């Protein structure tokens, strides 16, 4: 439990240490026989099965029988078109399955059906950017509704993942890397958190006069 509490203050360190932390939590779960510790371990490892935090796949876009997701013993797995063939000519990216899906859709290269049964149904696209100023020195986060509502319904996020009100949600990198908030999708079905993808979300440069906010301890320090 102590490990989890500390991470609140060590988000950036955690970012680089999540695979290591998973082992640590596992180790403490093994040594303590407490029920809570075991639950923490299982929720951490379950969240990270798909979230390939900062780790690269050994094979780029492996064919379904080798991708570790599909069952190679099922005959139908071998009928599926391999991604490398299916994605040919799609705008590339440097992470995930190496396709820039937003551009692929914007350029009309794919036309996914919005409704499985009704081919004429169109998505309700909402162009609204939400800026989330970040206290750390990394660029601020811009959450774009347009790129999301091209693929998703409002109810995919509201209200279960995010309260639809600016700054009403507490979001941080630890939660994202553990598969919560943005990490419910990013790292699983949409582009993952890798050193190359930071700037996709952290896309708004800090104002020229930005200075790191002073900590509460500093503000209270009578000798300052």
Residues at the site binding ligand HEC, with contacts judged by CB under 6 A: 11-12, 15, 101-102, 124, 126, 130, 132, 134, 136, 138, 141, 143-145, 147-149, 151-152, 154, 156-158, 161-162, 164-169, 171-174, 176, 181-182, 184-186, 190-191, 193, 195, 197-198, 200-202
- Tell me whether residue 71 or residue 129 sits nearer to ligand HEC (CB atom): 129
From the CB of residue 192, how many other CB atoms can be counted at a distance below 10 Å? 22
**Smallest gap from residue 122 Cβ to ligand HEC (A):** 12
- Tell me whether residue 38 or residue 138 sits nearer to ligand HEC (CB atom): 138
- Tell me whether residue 78 or residue 158 sits nearer to ligand HEC (CB atom): 158
Q: Which two tokens stand for residue 56?
A: 């690269």
- Tell me whether residue 65 or residue 144 sits nearer to ligand HEC (CB atom): 144
Distance CA 177, CA 164 (A): 22
Distance CA 123, CA 112 (A): 10
Q: Which two tokens stand for residue 220?
A: 């209270």
**Smallest gap from residue 76 Cβ to ligand HEC (A):** 25
**Smallest gap from residue 153 Cβ to ligand HEC (A):** 7
- Tell me whether residue 10 or residue 46 sits nearer to ligand HEC (CB atom): 10
Long-range contacts from 23-30, C-beta under 8 angstroms, 24+ separation: 28/3
DSSP 8-class letter at 53:
T
**Smallest gap from residue 84 Cβ to ligand HEC (A):** 18
- Tell me whether residue 28 or residue 194 sits nearer to ligand HEC (CB atom): 194
Q: How far is CA 161 from CA 155, 169, 185, 189, in A?
A: 9, 9, 11, 15
From the CB of residue 147, how many other CB atoms can be counted at a distance below 10 Å? 19
List, in sequence order, the alpha helices (H) in 32-141: 35-48, 83-86, 101-106
**Smallest gap from residue 79 Cβ to ligand HEC (A):** 26
**Smallest gap from residue 12 Cβ to ligand HEC (A):** 5
């Amino acid at each position: 439990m102590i490990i989890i509490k500390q991470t609140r203050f060590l988000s950036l360190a955690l970012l680089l240490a999540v695979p290591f932390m998973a082992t640590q939590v596992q180790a403490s779960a093994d040594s303590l026989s407490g029920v809570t510790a075991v639950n923490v371990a299982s929720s951490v490892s379950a969240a990270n099965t798909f979230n390939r935090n900062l780790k690269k796949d050994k094979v780029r876009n492996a064919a379904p029988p080798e991708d570790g997701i599909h069952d190679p013993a099922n005959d139908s797995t071998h009928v599926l078109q391999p991604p490398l063939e299916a994605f040919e000519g799609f705008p590339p990216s440097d992470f995930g399955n190496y396709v820039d899906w937003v551009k692929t859709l914007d350029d009309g290269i794919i036309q996914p059906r919005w409704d499985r049964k009704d081919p004429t149904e169109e998505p309700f696209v909402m162009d609204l950017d939400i800026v989330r100023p970040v206290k750390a020195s990394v660029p601020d986060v811009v959450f774009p509704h347009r790129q999301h509502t091209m693929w998703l319904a409002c109810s995919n996020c509201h209200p279960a993942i995010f309260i639809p009100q600016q700054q009403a949600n507490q979001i941080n990198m630890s939660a994202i890397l553990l598969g919560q908030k943005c990490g419910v999708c990013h790292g699983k079905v949409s582009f993952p958190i890798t050193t190359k993808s930071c700037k996709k979300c952290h896309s708004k440069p800090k104002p020229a006069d930005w200075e790191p906010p002073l900590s509460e301890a500093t503000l209270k320090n009578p000798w300052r």
